[in-house]
Amino acid sequence: MVGSGEQDMSAESVTLSALPPELDRERLPQHVAVIMDGNGRWARGQGLPRTMGHQRGVDVLKDLVRQCGEWGIDALTVYAFSTENWSRPEDEVSFLMVLFERALRRELRNMVEAGVQLRFVGRLDVLPQRLQDEIALSVEQSRQNTGLKFTIATNYGGRQEIVDACRAIADRVKAGTLEPDDIDRELFARHLYTNHLSDPDLVIRTSGEMRISNFLLWQMAYAELYVTETPWPEFDREAFRVALYEYQSRKRRFGGLNSDSTRSRRP
157 counts as binding ligand IPE under rule CB under 6 A = no
Sheet with 117-121, edge to edge strand ranges = 117-121, 149-156, 75-82, 31-35, 202-205, 224-227
Quick one: 81 or 247, whose CB is closer to Mg ion?
81
- Is residue 94 classed as helix, strand or coil in its secondary structure? helix
41 counts as binding ligand IPE under rule CB under 6 A = yes
Report the partner that residue 120 touches, choosing among Mg ion, ligand IPE, none (CB closer than 5 to 8 A by kind): none
Q: Near ligand IPE by CB under 6 A, which window of 3-11, 31-39, 131-139, 236-244?
A: 31-39
d(CA 193, CA 218): 11
231 counts as binding Mg ion under rule CB under 5 A = no
37 counts as binding Mg ion under rule CB under 5 A = yes
Report the partner that residue 157 touches, choosing among Mg ion, ligand IPE, none (CB closer than 5 to 8 A by kind): none
77 counts as binding ligand IPE under rule CB under 6 A = no
Quick one: 190 or 211, whose CB is closer to Mg ion?
211
138 counts as binding ligand IPE under rule CB under 6 A = no
Quick one: 18 or 210, whose CB is closer to ligand IPE?
210
80 counts as binding ligand IPE under rule CB under 6 A = yes
End-to-end CA distance of the chain: 42
38 counts as binding ligand IPE under rule CB under 6 A = yes
Closest distance of CB 64 from ligand IPE, Å: 14
- Is residue 59 classed as helix, strand or coil in its secondary structure? helix
Residues whose CB is less than 8 angstroms from the CB of residue 222 and which lie 6 or more positions away in sequence, other chains included? 199, 252, 254, 255, 264, 265
Quick one: 42 or 71, whose CB is closer to Mg ion?
42
d(CA 97, CA 112): 22
Nearest to 14 by CA among 75, 77, 71, 78: 71
The torsion defined by the Cα of 165, 166, 167 and 169, in degrees rounded to 10, comes to 90
Residues near Mg ion (CB under 5 A) are 37
Residues near ligand IPE (CB under 6 A) are 35-41, 79-82, 85, 96, 207, 209, 211, 213
